[in-house]
């Protein structure tokens, strides 16, 4: 399809909005796009519909079918309401709604509450912004059938999103995801019931906060260490987001007394004025907090993303320099501590398990298995970790994590939980300090005991229609022109999750991967122990590459030598794949 054909289709869709049942401001904005000599924004706004996918909606805000606005949010909500009323016919239906700090989040959440109530569904909505995990928690506490959080998580400020949840507090999975997608596709703007019923809208406030924080405290395994180290200096930043109150409150509830703030970043602002990215995966996002930590000689730095589900931490290394611990390392520290302390306290049942995503370090599994704890693999996204919990009700869940700075240390929420994670990570820091150590020391001890792993993730951004096609072509090329050798090491195993097969490229033997659904993920395992994972992002115009290399660390003194060797190996893999 050439540019002229695309523009013709886009113009026709834009004219439908100009002549349809849309508000005046929306129509004026579309007219401006159509009158602009550069039609790039018009095309991007209308060349496709913003799809209600398995995780809901996420996109740039603005008018158009491919944008987040009250009409795309409205269609998603009306479709979900239709499905709930059909699936739970004859039952009392309620839903919990939360929202974050982003521009238009309050508008979209109010719109969602109005539409659900107009469809006869009771809507619980928080009185102000709240972290995603508290919304997940509230679904379970209130006995809701579903939930919605308005957030684009860690995406740039131009984005917003809409995540849908089921009655167990997890994001929606099969078969409901596909059925809801079909229900949303059937909605036209004239079918959206925007006029709410105030009698079916109830506001949630401090009582739910207290219940949530008291439940978070039940995760504590070392209260005596906290008592000994209650003056631990913790620098915390919500990066303008939803954890501005609840994380400090939770830390105080645990017993910590010395929480140091970054006043400029305590300001709630969807434009994230102090950072170029409000993503704790990005080192720049922690810059102000680390500077404060240097100033006050802190023990620990913690930062959350805008909706409070991701946690970034920084500690001093043995050179006295502040170092950001990556997501794999964070998940590793959590898993090691939770298993070790449960073993020491006699809390392991013999029927315990942890969960990691397939792109997360394999060292996570090694720690579990060596301690006779089962480890499940899941697809990227905590809805799949929650799915493992759902399918194993007779087993004891310890924790689950992923490489992208998310961890869930308790099953009372069913999504990654930065409030709980901040609380437990502070406890681990106190426990380490009780032994004359810090988190960096603990990490090195893990590497000596279980093996050394080094990870890196890079991504390639390709915007718009042409970018989406380029990403698709890259995945196709990796899938059907598989490399036989990467960085001078033979590829000994390929896992293709689109067909759920593990393939031995030497013998041609194929074995089944036991996943119920498919995913657009490829993995290459090398003879030298390295793992490379490739997948397109489900929420951004990116293709992501995850690298993991393994080495043996016999003594802590060799840590930096082994780390440099591993970094060199990762650089070699990147060059070999021509990703520089």
Q: How far is CA 184 from CA 168, 371, 531, in A?
A: 22, 46, 38
Q: How far is CA 549 from CA 305, 453, 561, in A?
A: 28, 6, 14
CA–CA distance, 57 with 49 (Å, rounded to integer): 11
User: Taking a C-beta distance cutoff of 8 angstroms, is the pair 479, 522 a contact?
Assistant: yes
CA 94 to chain centre: 25
User: Which DSSP string corresponds to 510-535?
Assistant: EEE---SS--S-EEEEETTS-EEEEE
CA–CA distance, 226 with 247 (Å, rounded to integer): 16
Q: Tokens 């070790």 correspond to what residue?
A: 340
CA angle 215, 221, 225 (to 5 degrees): 120
User: Taking a C-beta distance cutoff of 8 angstroms, is the pair 150, 100 a contact?
Assistant: yes
What DSSP designation does 556 have? G
Identify which of 139, 147, 137 has the alpha carbon closest to the alpha carbon of residue 172: 147
Core vs surface per residue 224-248: b (16+ CB within 10 A) or e: ebbeebeebbbbbbbbbbbbbebbb
Which tokens in the block code for residue 241? 């987001």
Max CA pair span of the chain: 72
Cβ neighbours, 10 Å, residue 280: 28
What DSSP designation does 63 have? S
Q: Which residues contact 435 (CB under 8 A, 6 or more apart)?
A: none
Identify which of 142, 334, 127, 140 has the alpha carbon closest to the alpha carbon of residue 242: 127
Cβ neighbours, 10 Å, residue 290: 21
CA–CA distance, 517 with 175 (Å, rounded to integer): 10
- Three-state SS for 227-254 is HHCCCCCEEEECCCCCHHHHHHHHHHHH
Identify which of 100, 106, 99, 142 has the alpha carbon closest to the alpha carbon of residue 124: 142
3-state secondary structure of 58: strand
Q: Tokens 């949530």 correspond to what residue?
A: 212
CA–CA distance, 269 with 61 (Å, rounded to integer): 16
User: Taking a C-beta distance cutoff of 8 angstroms, is the pair 280, 391 a contact?
Assistant: no
Identify which of 364, 447, 441 has the alpha carbon closest to the alpha carbon of residue 399: 364
Radius of gyration of the chain (CA): 24
Cβ neighbours, 10 Å, residue 48: 16
Residues acting as catalytic residues: 153
Burial class (CB in 10 A: 0-12, 13-18, 19+), 296: exposed
Which tokens in the block code for residue 504? 């031995």
Give me the count of residues in the chain. Answer: 580
User: Taking a C-beta distance cutoff of 8 angstroms, is the pair 383, 172 a contact?
Assistant: yes
């Amino acid at each position: 399809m050439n540019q002229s054909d695309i523009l013709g289709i886009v113009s026709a869709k834009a004219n439908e909005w100009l002549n349809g049942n849309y508000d005046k401001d929306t129509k004026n904005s579309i007219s401006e796009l159509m009158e602009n000599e550069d039609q790039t924004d018009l095309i991007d706004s209308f060349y496709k519909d913003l799809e209600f996918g398995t995780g809901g909606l996420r996109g740039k805000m603005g008018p158009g079918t491919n944008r987040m606005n009250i009409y795309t949010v409205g269609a998603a909500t009306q479709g979900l309401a239709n499905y709930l009323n059909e699936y739970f016919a004859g039952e009392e239906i309620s839903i919990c709604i939360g929202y974050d700090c982003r521009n238009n989040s309050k508008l979209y959440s109010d719109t969602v509450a109005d539409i659900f109530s107009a469809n006869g569904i009771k809507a619980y909505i928080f009185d102000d912004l709240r972290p995603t995990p508290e919304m997940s928690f509230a679904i379970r506490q209130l006995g809701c059938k579903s939930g919605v959080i308005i957030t684009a998580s860690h995406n740039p400020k131009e984005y917003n999103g809409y995540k849908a949840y089921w009655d167990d507090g997890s994001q929606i999975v099969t078969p409901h995801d596909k059925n809801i997608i079909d229900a949303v596709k059937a909605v036209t703007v004239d079918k959206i019931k925007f006029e709410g019923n105030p009698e079916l809208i109830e506001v949630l406030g401090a009582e739910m906060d207290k219940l949530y924080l008291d439940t978070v405290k039940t995760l504590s395994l070392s209260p005596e260490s906290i008592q000994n180290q209650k003056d631990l200096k913790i620098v915390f930043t919500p990066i303008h987001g939803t954890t501005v109150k609840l994380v400090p409150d939770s830390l105080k509830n645990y017993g910590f007394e010395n929480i140091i703030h970054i006043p400029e970043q305590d300001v709630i602002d969807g434009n994230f004025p102090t950072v170029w990215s409000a993503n704790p995966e990005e080192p720049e996002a922690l810059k102000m907090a680390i500077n404060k930590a240097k100033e006050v000689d802190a023990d620990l730095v913690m930062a959350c993303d805008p909706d409070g589900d991701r946690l970034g931490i920084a500690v001093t290394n043995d050179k006295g320099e502040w170092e950001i611990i990556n997501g794999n390392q964070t998940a590793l520290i959590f898993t090691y501590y939770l298993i070790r302390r449960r073993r020491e306290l006699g809390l392991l049942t013999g029927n315990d398990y942890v969960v990691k995503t397939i792109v997360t370090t394999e060292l996570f599994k090694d720690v579990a298995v060596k301690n006779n704890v089962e480890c499940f693999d899941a697809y990227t996204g905590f809805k799949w970790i929650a799915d493992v919990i759902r399918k194993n009700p007779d087993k004891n869940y310890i924790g689950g994590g992923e490489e992208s700075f998310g961890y869930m240390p308790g099953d009372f929420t069913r999504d990654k939980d930065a409030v709980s994670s901040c609380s437990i990570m502070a406890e681990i820091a106190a426990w380490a300090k009780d032994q004359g150590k810090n988190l960096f020391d603990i990490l090195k001890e893990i590497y000596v005991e279980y093996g050394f792993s080094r990870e890196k993730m890079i991504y390639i951004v390709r915007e718009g229609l042409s970018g989406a096609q380029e990403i698709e072509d890259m995945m196709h090329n990796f899938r059907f022109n598989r490399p036989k050798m990467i960085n001078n090491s033979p590829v000994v195993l390929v896992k293709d999750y689109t067909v759920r097969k593990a393939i031995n490229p030497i013998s041609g033997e194929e074995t089944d991967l036991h996943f119920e659904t498919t995913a657009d993920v490829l993995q290459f395992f090398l003879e030298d122990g390295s793992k490379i994972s490739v997948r397109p992002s489900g929420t951004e115009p990116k293709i992501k590459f995850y690298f993991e290399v393994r080495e043996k660390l016999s003594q802590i003194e060799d840590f930096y030598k082994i780390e440099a060797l591993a970094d060199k190996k990762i650089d070699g893999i990147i060059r070999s794949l021509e990703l520089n």
